[in-house]
């Protein structure tokens, strides 16, 4: 009988990388998962490592910190995988991480439709996995995950029992890691039709092979639910709607009508199919076009809505884009506020890592004020519990949703 236990050479032949003397080793010991290139000794040997290589990380005094993955091409040059420097990144290791993540979701959700792995917060840096019943979509957005995609897929199949596992390579972060954008099938066959997902009383159609990201944004589920509580008897407008996110939830909550605005015709087609599946198509309409242009046109038409929600893409995905992103959020707030009927409600969302809650609120308030409206903030929402936050990593809490009464 052969043993799967690692030969000692497999562990101790790993290269060693070391922090600079003044780097913050204390933060790493307390759970911060990244090492920036400016904090690591990057000699010729380190720079020659294959992106995604495993290495032992030491502090400036050569004390061990743990097992990391190294990508010399990335500003995040090291990601902590395990505080045990001798850990083996094999199927059993992945099973332990994925099983722990699934156990938490199974306690919260009554059906297997959720984000199963939320990167660093679930102990798999740079890895996103969304589950759609018997189908899982994996986004390996870090080089180490690409190198270990087979044991990851095998562990995922064993833990979840899912017959279909897809790799989605569309994530923006893959380019920063030097990775390609070629998606593929890892297990099973791709679904021939969109996968129906029921949330908050509405049915959404997730295109897991050709849609944005993994096909559906689970993170907004609790914010959809809050918006639905405002929607009874209301005329609602959902801007940057994707597959009908807020609109369908508000129709399920009793809205008399809903208009979804998005630049993607395929996304709006899926939104309409979701409305039909939920028996709400007679109250639902779509309008394709640039969101800023459509909101300007609606204002020119004198349109008014009782609830308006805007959920734009990440206008400030990084620090260099922050100021331009905040101006874009301000513009969204100004245009949207003009469309809210007196006494109505406005929901504004941001999924930008670089724009924190305070900055986003300030930009939103400026936009509402520039529209000549006064507002009272009534609710602040975040991503659901299937998108856990790592307390030491502010970037893991990226989603903000702020609701106002105007």
pLDDT digits (tens, 9 = 90+) for 113-135: 999 999 999 999 999 999 999 99
Its CATH class, for the domain covering 196-405, is: alpha beta
Average pLDDT, the chain: 94
Could you give the percent of the chain with pLDDT greater than 90? Answer: 88
How many Å apart are CA 128 and CA 360, to the nearest integer? 25
Q: How confident is the model at residue 1 (pLDDT cuts 50, 70, 90)?
A: very low
Question: CATH 3.40.50.150 spans which residues of the chain?
Answer: 196-405
User: Domain 91-187: which topology?
Assistant: Transcription Regulator spoIIAA (3.30.750)
Alpha helices in 280-378 (DSSP H): 291-300, 322-337, 357-370
DSSP 124-171: -TTEEEEEETTEEEEEE-SHHHHHTHHHHHHHHHHHH--SEEEE----
Quickly state the pLDDT bin for 215 (edges 50, 70, 90): confident
Q: In the chain, which residues fall in CATH 3.30.750.80?
A: 91-187
Poorest-pLDDT segment among 57-71, 119-133, 166-180, 278-292: 166-180
User: Does 11 have pLDDT greater than 60?
Assistant: no
Asked whether the beta carbons of 376 and 346 are under 8 A apart, the reply is: no
pLDDT at residue number 13: 76
pLDDT band for position 10 (cuts 50, 70, 90): very low
Q: Reply yes or no on whether the pLDDT at 25 is more than 60.
A: yes
Q: Is 351 a catalytic residue?
A: yes
Start-end of CATH 2.30.130.10 domains in the chain: 8-82
Predicted TM-score (pTM) of the model is 0.93
Please pick, among 136, 162, 349, 351, the residue that the annotation labels catalytic: 351
Hey, which CATH number is domain 8-82, 1.20.140.10, 2.40.70.10, 2.30.130.10, 3.40.50.2300? 2.30.130.10
What was the pLDDT predicted at 7? 38
């Amino acid at each position: 009988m052969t043993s799967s236990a690692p030969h000692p050479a497999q562990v101790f032949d790993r290269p060693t990388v070391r922090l600079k003397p003044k780097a913050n080793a204390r933060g790493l010991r307390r759970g911060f998962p990244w090492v920036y290139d400016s904090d690591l000794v990057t000699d010729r040997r380190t720079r020659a490592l294959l992106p995604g290589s495993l290495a032992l990380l030491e502090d400036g005094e050569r004390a061990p910190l743990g097992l990391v993955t190294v990508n010399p091409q990335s500003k995040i040059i090291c990601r902590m995988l395990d505080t045990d420097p001798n850990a083996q990144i094999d199927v059993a290791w992945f099973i332990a991480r994925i099983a722990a993540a699934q156990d938490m979701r199974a306690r919260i959700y009554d059906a297997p439709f959720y984000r199963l792995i939320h990167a660093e917060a679930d102990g798999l840096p740079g890895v996103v996995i969304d589950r759609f019943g018997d189908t899982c979509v994996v986004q390996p957005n870090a080089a180490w995950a690409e190198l270990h995609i087979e044991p990851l897929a095998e562990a995922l199949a064993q833990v979840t029992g899912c017959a279909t596992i897809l790799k989605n390579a569309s994530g923006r972060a893959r380019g920063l890691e030097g990775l390609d954008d070629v998606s593929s099938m890892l297990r099973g066959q791709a679904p021939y039709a969109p996968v129906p997902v029921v949330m908050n009383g509405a049915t959404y159609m997730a295109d897991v092979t050709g849609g944005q990201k993994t096909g559906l944004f689970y993170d907004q589920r609790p914010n959809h639910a809050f918006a639905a509580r405002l929607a009874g008897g209301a005329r609602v407008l959902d801007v940057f709607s994707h597959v009908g996110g807020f609109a369908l939830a508000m129709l399920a909550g009793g809205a008399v009508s809903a208009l979804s605005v998005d630049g993607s015709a395929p996304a709006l087609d899926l939104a309409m199919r979701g409305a039909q599946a939920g028996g709400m198509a007679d109250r639902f309409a779509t309008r394709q076009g640039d969101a800023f242009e459509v909101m300007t046109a609606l204002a020119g038409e004198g349109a008014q809505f009782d609830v308006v929600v805007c959920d734009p893409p990440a206008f400030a995905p990084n620090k260099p884009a922050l100021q331009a992103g905040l101006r874009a959020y301000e513009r969204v707030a100004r245009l949207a506020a003009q469309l809210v009927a007196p006494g109505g409600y406005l929901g504004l969302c941001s999924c930008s890592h670089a724009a924190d809650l305070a900055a986003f609120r300030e930009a939103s308030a400026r936009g509402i004020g520039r529209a000549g409206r006064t507002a009272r903030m009534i609710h602040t929402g975040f991503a659901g519990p299937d998108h856990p936050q790592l307390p030491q990593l502010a970037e893991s809490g990226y989603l903000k949703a702020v609701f106002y009464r105007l």
